[in-house]
Amino acid sequence: MPHTTTFRIYYEDTDSGGVVYYANYLKFAERARTELLRAKGINQSTIASDAGVLFVVRRANLELFSPARLDDLLEINTHIKNISGASINMLQEISCNGNKIAELDVLVVCINQNFKPCRIPGNIKNLL
């Protein structure tokens, strides 16, 4: 089941034409993934200190369909496609007024404090 987060577009998110700058979709998607983890009871700073692991983006494919503009309210649906031993593949759809405006396919990997890939702890995997 997808997790849904909403974000309002502010002036700082746009370029001189009032259109959302493309790189900001990556930031919106990051925030939505963080909110999905919070909704599942996973706090990233806590797992870093307690379990010694971090989640980092290894790959992000972004496809844009139409622009978001100043004051738009975006809805971001984050769906976990697959969880393996050390990675999570997520599909994120960004829409405005029911129209899909962007889609991201994101691969997040679990790393230890030495920045080496490691298995996702079992308790975190179970929550996801």
Question: Facing residues of 20 across strands?
Answer: 14
**What does the alpha-carbon distance between residue 94 and residue 64 come to, in Å, rounded to a whole number?**
9
Question: Facing residues of 5 across strands?
Answer: 76
**Three-state DSSP class for residue 29:** helix
Other Cβ atoms closer than 10 A to 85: 10
List the 87-96 sheet strands across, edge first: 3-8, 73-83, 87-96, 99-112, 53-64
Q: Active-site positions?
A: 15
**What does the alpha-carbon distance between residue 32 and residue 34 come to, in Å, rounded to a whole number?**
5
